[in-house]
Amino acid sequence: MSFKIAKVNPGTPAARARIMPGESLVAVNGRKIRDVLDYRFYTAERHLHLDIEGTDGRVRSVRVVNRRGGDIGLEFETYLMDKPRSCHNKCIFCFIDQLPRGMRDTLYFKDDDTRLSFLTGNYVTLTNISDDDITRIINQRISPINISVHTSDPELRAKMLSNKNAGRVMGYMKRIADAELPMNAQIVLCPGVNDGEALKRTMRDLSALYPSLRSVSCVPVGLTRFRDGLYPLTGYDEKSASETLDIIEAFADECKEKLGTRLFFAADEFYIKAGRELPPAQHYEEFLQIENGVGMLSSFREEFYSALAESGDISPETGRYTVICGADAYDFMSGLVDELLKRWHNLNIRVKKIDNEFFGTTITVSGLICGCDILNQLRGEDLGDAVLFTKNMLRSGTNVLLDDVTTDELSEKLGVPFVPIENDGGSFFDFFVKGI
């Protein structure tokens, strides 16, 4: 097997060795390469001999000196140098199965690739790997691995994931833990399925994997209006969210006392649904699960108030703005805006809640808001000088929302700039007060 080289970055060891785009990598120090993980692992050595196949089909040996042990400068036709591994499960709570037809094709691809878990932080179920794959992870020290556990009960996990191999996860995780490789885990909780006593068992079993297991997020299931023919699930209400929080917090307190870390952290959504105050920022320790919606609002609040405390005698320019967010964040964002308005009377800021009509009003997080709902719910309103929203509404690195509506389209149709800000309280504060 060989891998065609799409680009050779200037000034890199590969460029100095006169490797050219269009040629192909065959082997590194005599070792065949399977994918990007092999490539990164084997090219980390200082002295390299690469077997390079030229465009004429001839293979030559190229000596490369990699003094810094980093990337030698080759880019390939695909990021993984291989096809991504798709999910073999049929999870009862799968969000992709709850998407309507007609969205962009990439949204329907179910990724379950341990290589992407290491490279980009994706969560994987470990149902489509083998014992040899685990051995490779251990031998190449591939970490951290982010694992979707959901339950440690083998029979229940096989049922939830509709995969007979799902019950092997704790054995795989034990091997990874014994090798002292870092892991993170998540539990998507479904009322009456894997919460209650099942959750208590899962937390007990997972806590035995500490310290290799660094953190576990507990996240409520998200249910759209497109569930015809799918497993019958209900969402969390105030009572069930509160009961589940009690279980998570009680066990996390035990872990804090015994292990020095809470280890288990509930998503912000649980606190909002239960009608409880968000914990302080220090509750979340290193914020290892912030991308999973765990501690995101508490971090945002701390950053905002830190910026407010350091603002001194700043006099912001007069402005009129609209801030949009999902239902979960509405009261939270309104509270922060009130703090700004109390201090600076020349600011005129309104917070507008966007109900998720596209996926259904049971979806309340800001990150799943679609452009069509923004257009429908803001049309005809006085939006001021600009509309602000956090970047987690956009596809990474783009100005595109989930339904392919762009911020340029929103600006054109509603007659006001749409301004994405970083998902942190300091950036939110700086926009209004410092004009940054």
Q: What are 114-117's contacts with CB under 8 Å, separation 24+?
A: 114/85, 114/142, 114/145, 115/35, 115/36, 115/37, 115/80, 115/85, 116/80, 116/84, 117/145, 117/146, 117/147
> Residue 194 — very low, low, confident or very high, per pLDDT cuts 50/70/90?
very high
- Return the percentage of the chain with pLDDT > 90, whole number: 79
Looking at the domain that runs over 301-433, which CATH code has it been given? Answer: 3.40.50
Strand partners, 53: 24, 59
> What does the alpha-carbon distance between residue 187 and residue 156 come to, in Å, rounded to a whole number?
13
Q: Of 177, 172, 179, 198, whose CA–CA distance to 187 is shortest?
A: 198
Query: What pLDDT shows up at residue 129?
Result: 87
Domain limits, CATH 3.40.50, in the chain: 301-433
Mean pLDDT of 199-218: 98
Q: What residue spans in the chain does CATH classification 2.30.42.60 cover? A: 3-76
Q: In 3D, which of 15, 32, 31 has the Cα closest to residue 66? A: 15
Q: What is the enclosing helix (H) or strand (E) of 197?
A: helix 196-207
| pLDDT of 79 | 82
Task: Give the pLDDT confidence score for residue 195 in this predicted structure.
Answer: 98
Pairwise pLDDT comparison (45 vs 83), residue with the higher score: 45
Lowest mean pLDDT, pick from 349-358, 371-380, 393-402:
393-402
Q: What's the mean pLDDT in 65-74?
A: 86
Give residue 26's pLDDT band: very low, low, confident or very high (50, 70, 90).
Answer: very high
For residues 315-331, give the mean pLDDT: 94
Taking the C-alpha atoms of residue 256 and residue 67, their distance in angstroms, rounded to an integer, is 43
Q: 166 in helix, strand or coil?
A: helix
User: Tell me, what DSSP letter sits at residue 26?
Assistant: E
In this prediction, residue 142 carries a pLDDT of 86
Q: Residue 163 contacts by C-beta under 8 Å, 6 or more apart in sequence?
A: 88, 89, 90, 125, 127
pLDDT exceeds cutoff 80 at 106? no
CATH architecture assigned to 96-293: Alpha-Beta Horseshoe (3.80)
Q: Write out the residue limits of the CATH 3.80.30.10 domain(s) in the chain.
A: 96-293
Looking at per-residue pLDDT, the higher value among 247 and 140 belongs to 247
Share the mean pLDDT of the chain: 93
State whether residue 226 is helix, strand or coil.
coil
Higher pLDDT pick, 194 / 112: 194
pLDDT number for residue 63? 94
The average pLDDT across 6-11 equals 94
Cβ contacts of residue 191 below 8 Å, gap of 6+?
A: 221, 233, 234, 235, 236, 240
Tally DSSP H helices, then E strands, for the chain.
14, 15
pLDDT tens digits for 219-267? 999 999 999 999 999 999 999 999 999 999 999 999 999 999 999 999 9
Tell me what pLDDT residue 107 has. Answer: 77
As a whole number of angstroms, the distance between CA 223 and CA 235 comes to: 7
Residue 187 pLDDT:
98
Contacts of 80 (CB under 8 A, 6+ apart): 35, 36, 113, 115, 116
- What does the pLDDT read at residue 93? 95
Q: Does residue 423 contact residue 392 with C-beta atoms inside 8 Å?
A: yes
- Report strand pairing: 3-8 vs 74-76: antiparallel
Which amino acid does the sequence have at 173? Answer: M
pLDDT in tens, 74-84: 999 888 888 87
Which of these, 188, 187, 193, lies nearest to 215 by C-alpha position? 187
Mean predicted confidence (pLDDT) in 356-384: 95
Residues 54 and 144: their CA atoms lie apart, in Å, by: 36
Nearest to 252 by CA among 304, 289, 302, 298: 289
Tell me what pLDDT residue 109 has.
75
Contacts of 165 (CB under 8 A, 6+ apart): 88, 127, 128, 158
Instruction: Lay out the sheet containing 264-266: strands in order across.
Output: 123-124, 145-148, 183-189, 213-220, 264-266
What confidence tens digit (pLDDT) does each residue in 161-191 have?
999 999 999 999 999 999 999 999 999 999 9
Residue 39: what residue type?
A: Y
Whether 208 shows a pLDDT value over 90: the answer reads yes
Q: Residue 113 pLDDT more than 80?
A: no
Nearest Cα neighbor of 222 from 257, 275, 270 is 270
Provide CB contacts within 8 A for 50, sequence distance 6+.
17, 19, 25, 26, 27, 28, 61, 62, 64
Q: Mean pLDDT over residues 312-328, rounded? A: 92
With a CB cutoff of 8 Å and minimum separation 6, the contacts of 29 are 42, 45, 48, 49
Q: What is the pLDDT of residue 226?
A: 95
Task: Give the pLDDT of residue 68.
Answer: 75
Q: What is the pTM of this model?
A: 0.88
The fold adopted by the segment(s) 3-76 is Pdz3 Domain (2.30.42)
- Maximum mean pLDDT: which of 105-109, 253-257, 431-435: 253-257
What confidence tier does 302 reach under pLDDT thresholds 50, 70, 90? very high
